[in-house]
Amino acid sequence: MSKIKSAFFCQGCGYEAAKWLGKCPSCGEWNTFVEEMIEKPSKNVVAFSNETKHSKPQLIQEVVKQEEERRTLKDSELHRVLGGGLVPGSIILLGGDPGIGKSTLLLQLAISDSIKTLYVSGEESDRQIKMRADRIGRVNDTCFLLTETNLQNIVLHANEIQPEIIIIDSIQTLFSSHIESSPGSISQVRECTAQLLRYAKQTNIPIFLIGHITKDGTLAGPKVLEHMVDVVLQFEGDRNHIYRLLRTIKNRFGSTNELGIYEMHGAGLRGVENPSEILITNTDKDLSGIAIASTIEGMRPLLVEVQALVSSAAYGTPQRSSTGFDAKRLNMLLAVLEKRCGFKLGSKDVFLNIAGGIKVDDPAIDLAVAISVLSSNADLAIPKTIAFAGEIGLSGEIRPVNRIEQRISEAEKLGYKQIVVSKYSKGLELKKSEIEVFSCGKIEEVVKFVFA
């Protein structure tokens, strides 16, 4: 007989304690402890054990490197984000807000690639999934659906079907009968992931796990989940816009700098090959308050449109709001403009928006943000042939940004005639290009150049 016992787990980080605690000693969060029943598996119920395998230490030079046959995926964005294909036996965790398209992305992989797939859903019925598959289109005959939440049953079915990929939607709905606590609890999530991990390594079947996200945007479940899996992907975007970004947060088999860009259509997700072209509005008239920034997202250069609106504050305290750009950084840039260039923005409302609903962290966008604010303030349009790439320091200096050649050539490719960069950027002299590179050291010089 196995002994049933209970323990208290922090729902934030997975810390285990014998008694209830008000504050988690590990992550410092308050009121996160929940009692969960755990049952230590008795010796004879070990599900997939490695005990029969002999392991012994060996010299690293003597380890035979098996050529990891990476599987090519038809979805070229996912293929690239995974670091160039799917590694056998890997576990990939896909997180994202509800309704962002996680199930769609993986169902699309299951039905449009000619890989034998087992799609396990604990959230939707077969009919619902079939409806979605019909929406996406061409359904091949290599995708098996299973609506099941018991892990042991899933493994039995997988052994029978022998799929080449398993997709679990979602890890929070699974439960293992070896553990008493309810699905979605820390100990269940951890146990199910551990068992799937062992299964993947034994059978060499890659497994995709869909994970829920908490209110503050981190993956629900303990941090240990992220440590256990091989790859963590995040699917993000604004639900009201059609663009979705697929980022790598962790990848044991490749770089985490890759980024996939998708458009959500009526018939599923479509990879975007030329992201810069779609993010910029093509209007005939020159409008004030719009500046184009040459940014780098992951490894790819991406031209984005920054829109600003400056108006006199209707109420006492001026409002500052920004979408897709850090609000604190906007305040800092406004202070720099006020102090260094003498623009009186203190009594103005400032609204900032990055077109397309995407979020940009690249500091190279600073220059475009500052210039678009000034453009809207003076109601003077910026010529549509100029792009910007530079970080602004607290004294108003334009600081160099990384991979400037790539940014310049992307702007050139899209037909821009001039680009404003920092004069401290390295390697500018060497480059021969069609586009005129205007390098300056201070924000005042940029203002003169643009609005002269």
Chain contacts with ligand TYD (rule: CB under 6 A)? 96, 98-104, 132, 135-136, 264, 266-268
Taking residue 147's Cβ as centre, other Cβ atoms within 10 Å add up to 16
Verify cis geometry, omega within 30 degrees of 0, for the bond prior to 170: yes
Mask: binding to Mg ion, 44-83, rule CB under 5 A, as x and -? ----------------------------------------
Nearer to Mg ion, 171 or 364 (CB): 171
Site size with Mg ion, rule: CB under 5 A: 1
CA distance 153 to 195: 13
Nearer to ligand TYD, 264 or 443 (CB): 264
Nearer to ligand TYD, 103 or 187 (CB): 103
Helix (H) or strand (E) holding 293: strand 290-297
Query: Tell me, what amino acid is at 2?
Result: S
Contacted by 195, from Mg ion, ligand TYD, none: CB < 5 to 8 Å by type: none
The one among 11, 32, 90, 103 contacting Mg ion by CB under 5 A: 103
Taking residue 203's Cβ as centre, other Cβ atoms within 10 Å add up to 18
Nearer to ligand TYD, 237 or 289 (CB): 237
Contacted by 342, from Mg ion, ligand TYD, none: CB < 5 to 8 Å by type: none
Contacted by 206, from ligand TYD, Mg ion, none: CB < 5 to 8 Å by type: none
CA distance 97 to 236: 7
* Separation in Å, CA 10 to CA 166, 182, 211: 30, 15, 18
CB of 148 to ligand TYD, least distance (A): 18
First to last CA, the chain: 85
Contacted by 407, from Mg ion, ligand TYD, none: CB < 5 to 8 Å by type: none
Residue nearest to Mg ion (CB): 103
Nearer to Mg ion, 154 or 168 (CB): 168
CA distance 121 to 368: 45
Contacted by 135, from Mg ion, ligand TYD, none: CB < 5 to 8 Å by type: ligand TYD
Nearer to ligand TYD, 262 or 388 (CB): 262
CB of 171 to ligand TYD, least distance (A): 13
Identify which range of 102-110, 137-145, 159-167, 283-291 contacts Mg ion by CB under 5 A: 102-110
CA distance 13 to 11: 6
CB of 176 to Mg ion, least distance (A): 21
Candidates 146, 170, 158; CA nearest to 199 is 158
CB of 123 to Mg ion, least distance (A): 6
Nearer to ligand TYD, 83 or 101 (CB): 101
CB of 271 to ligand TYD, least distance (A): 14
Indicate the DSSP class of residue 32.
Answer: -
Q: Tell me the residue length of the chain.
A: 452
CA distance 208 to 73: 14
Q: Is residue 408 within 8 Å of 293, Cβ to Cβ?
A: no
Strand, helix or coil at 203? helix
CB of 170 to Mg ion, least distance (A): 7
CA distance 51 to 45: 13
Measured in degrees and rounded to the nearest 5, phi and psi for residue 273 equal -85, -35
CB of 241 to ligand TYD, least distance (A): 11
Q: Name the residues that contact Mg ion, by CB under 5 A.
A: 103
